[in-house]
Structure 1
Amino acid sequence: MSRKTALIACADLSGFCYGEQHPFKVQRYRLAHDLMAAYGLLDLPGMSEVRPRPVDEKELLGAHSAEYLDRLREFSEAQEPRADFRYGLGDVENPIFPGVYDWACLGVSGTLEAARLVTEEGFAAAFNLLGGYHHAQKGRASGFSYLNDAVVAINYLRERGKRVVYLDLDAHHGDGVQNAFYDCDRVLTISLHESGVYFFPGTGFENETGEGRGKGYSVNLPLLAHTDDALFMKAFDEVAFPLIAAFDPDVMVTQLGADTFRTDPLTRLEVTTHAYSYIMRKLRALEIPWVGVGGGGYDQMNVARAWTIAWGVMNDREVSPRLPTSFVKLIAQLGYPHRMLLDAMHWAQDDDRNRALDAVEKSIAYVRKHVFPVLIGDYGKRHLT
């Protein structure tokens, strides 16, 4: 019997736009969906495309303040430009556009539906491309994120007694999700990201390990520029993977941002589809009910390629590195260059890579010293051998 998997269907997104000069392009969702279709990944046995129900305010209030939601709705309906920097609204980063509240709710409703499907409907995996807004805080927008879909969905899972791992592979630290569960021992947050020493949002250092009951349940691996596939996989294999196994969650929520790729215009990591697909396969092997959400990615072809790989792995399908002819013709019409799905390996200058290696090893050593003992004590040494 085939695994049951769900791809959360995107609504019509044509009316939403962050602005012509903004790096976040809504078109990337259509492009990812088109690539999945070109590979034949949208008519697989056991898979469904599911339209989520609308999210209600009670569900949002578990993650956001009433004052912030009121202001976001007000601005969303306004006919003239509005801004309120107390709430992070209306600046270059988080522009106000018609229907911005509805836009933000689409991401939340999809991730909430994905969580429901894996807990109540027996789905092995559910993927919401239109999710991953991990910077949104309780009372303000941040980092292109207006509502935090992962926090809403994890709250839903916690209410049903589930223990959750949240793994964030975006190039930016998952600060909004970490903040929401910083004192909680029922949610383990793990984030691999470019270092906050010089990079937005300026958080996610090794010593951010939680507080109170949550001490040891926040894990951060800050990475320096020029971190490549080998170093990214090293961080995952030596910290993230064994901690997920040790925590033994009921549900795994993964933010699958594609802005770690070396051709992303906003970041300086050098990950390729090689490391990305390797990590997806390792996560699949854990056999944990899996909620996948989108995230960052400002080269639209990278986003399409990465999320197609993830969806293929969720369905036990290997995706050829050669793009389908139909998709090559489509992207040619859109002005995109033809790229194979697998990037060539790229190595930085020795000094740069050595600094990146030193940083990875430092982060790993810190987490093993300060976090691993918490999980070993709670869940048994057998997981970390």
Structure 2
Amino acid sequence: MSAKTALIYSQDFSHFSYGDEHPFKVQRINLAFELMRRFGLTELPGADIVDCPRVDESALLTFHTSDYLDRLREFNSSDEPRADFRYGLGDLDNPVFKGFYDWSTLVTGGTVEAARLVTEEGYDIAFSMAGGWHHAHSSKAAGFSYLNDAVIAINTLLEKGLRVAYLDIDAHHGDGVQEAFYDTDRVLTVSIHESGIYFFPGTGFEDEIGTGKGRGYSVNVPLEAHTDDALFMKAFDEVAYPLLAAFNPDVLVTQLGSDTFRTDPLTRLEITTHSYTYILRKLKALKIPWVAVGGGGYNMVNVARAWTLAWGIMNGVELPVKLPESFVDIIGPLGYPNRMLLDAMHWAEEDDRNRALDAVERSIAAIRASIFPIIIGRYAAAAGE
């Protein structure tokens, strides 16, 4: 039987902009939806397109501080440029643009709605592709993120007594989500990302494993520059997948950033749709109620390709290798020559790959020594194995 799915989307997304020179392009979401439409993925039986409701402030207060939200509201209505660096507002990463708080509450509401749909309305999968703001802290904007939609949505799940696993495959460490759940064993956070030694946000190392009851429930696999498809799949298969399977959460939340792709302008990983789709198929095979959010991605066509493939996999639809010609006509004037939806498996240059392989093997060994005895041991024992 096919899955019952929901795609969270709003026409209002197009009303907002971080600015012409900012790398975060809101229109990438509209481009992804357009590609889905041209493949017929917006009219699938059993798949609903659901509008974004705005999030209630009471939900925001489960993570964000009241003084921070007050400042967001104040700046939101100002017609003049504003900045408050105590709260991370008004710098190059986190500009204060007209309606930025409206934008943030709209997207966060979409992710909260996705969580509600899989727990209250019988949906198997809900995809809030505009979400994924994993850098926002309780009282500070960071990394293009003003509100942490994943944390807010997970908190609504915890209020229902559910256990949650959060997997982040964005190129950047999911630091804000890790921060929120660092001391609890009710949320397992797993982040596979480019190493913070030389990369924003400078966190996400193997020894960040949680504290108190949460010890062992924060998992990080930092990757060297030039990590390719095979190594990315290795990190997932040897760390993330066994931990997710052992933890066996009530709900799976995933951040599906496509800034891992080798043509992304801000990152140095060398992932393609080959490993991206491999991971998504394995996640779907777990048959755990699944809330997915979008995340990073600064080549707009990569974003459209990735999230269209994700939505296709969620709905069991096999898509062709090439983009529709009608979509190629759209992206051509934007300076994107790529006509391919799917990529062949990519291998990095030998020297780069050897360094990346050594690094990922060290990370896997460290995690198997520190994390596996806690998670695999605990839940295998509980299952009577």
Question: 2:370 is matched by which residue type in structure 1?
Answer: H
How does 1:98-117 map onto structure 2 within 5 Å?
A: 98-117=98-117
Secondary structure of the 1:252 match is: strand
> Could you report, residue by residue, the CA deviation over 1:128-156 in whole angstroms, capped at 9, with x for unpaired residues?
01100000000000000000000000000
Map of 1:328 onto structure 2:
328
How does 1:18-97 map onto structure 2 within 5 Å?
A: 18-97=18-97
- Structure 1 CA distance for aligned equivalents of residues 11 and 70 of structure 2: 24
Kept in 1: contact 2:104–2:147 (CA 8 A): yes
Unmatched segments (≥5 aa) in structure 1: none
Kept in 2: contact 1:135–1:177 (CA 8 A): yes
Q: Give the Å deviation of 1:352.
A: 1.4
Secondary structure of the 2:138 match is: coil
Q: 1:53 to 1:14 in 2, by over 3 A?
A: closer
Q: Which stretch of the first structure deviates more once superposed, 17-26 or 221-230?
A: 17-26
Q: Does 1:376 align with 2:360?
A: no
How does 1:257-272 map onto structure 2 within 5 Å?
A: 257-272=257-272
> Could you report, residue by residue, the CA deviation over 1:10-34 in whole angstroms, capped at 9, with x for unpaired residues?
2322331111111111110011001
Runs of 4+ in 1 over 4 A off after TM superposition: none
Kept in 2: contact 1:258–1:306 (CA 8 A): yes
Secondary structure of the 1:167 match is: strand
* TM-score, normalised via structure 1 length: 0.97
> Could you report, residue by residue, the CA deviation over 1:249-272 in whole angstroms, capped at 9, with x for unpaired residues?
000000000000000000000000
Secondary structure of the 2:73 match is: helix
- Structure 2 CA distance for aligned equivalents of residues 233 and 246 of structure 1: 18
* TM-score, normalised via structure 2 length: 0.97
> Could you report, residue by residue, the CA deviation over 1:352-374 in whole angstroms, capped at 9, with x for unpaired residues?
11110011001100111100011
Identical residues among aligned pairs (%): 68
> Could you report, residue by residue, the CA deviation over 1:45-76 in whole angstroms, capped at 9, with x for unpaired residues?
10101113221111100010001000011111
- Structure 2 CA distance for aligned equivalents of residues 18 and 235 of structure 1: 33
> Could you report, residue by residue, the CA deviation over 1:206-232 in whole angstroms, capped at 9, with x for unpaired residues?
000000000000000000000000000
Q: Give the Å deviation of 1:381.
A: 6.2
- Structure 2 CA distance for aligned equivalents of residues 381 and 305 of structure 1: 41
> Could you report, residue by residue, the CA deviation over 1:97-154 in whole angstroms, capped at 9, with x for unpaired residues?
0001001111110000000000000100000011000000000000000000000000
Q: Would you say how many aligned residue pairs link Structure 1 and Structure 2?
A: 384
Secondary structure of the 1:380 match is: helix
Kept in 1: contact 2:275–2:345 (CA 8 A): no
Q: Give the Å deviation of 1:345.
A: 4.0
> Could you report, residue by residue, the CA deviation over 1:190-247 in whole angstroms, capped at 9, with x for unpaired residues?
0000000000000000000000000000000000000000000000000000000000
- Aligned CA RMSD, in angstroms, stands at 1.4
Map of 2:354 onto structure 1:
354
Unmatched segments (≥5 aa) in structure 2: none
Question: 1:273 is matched by which residue type in structure 2?
Answer: T
Q: Give the Å deviation of 1:336.
A: 2.7
- Structure 2 CA distance for aligned equivalents of residues 161 and 314 of structure 1: 26
Q: Which stretch of the first structure deviates more once superposed, 201-210 or 345-354?
A: 345-354
Map of 1:155 onto structure 2:
155
Q: 1:349 to 1:147 in 2, by over 3 A?
A: same
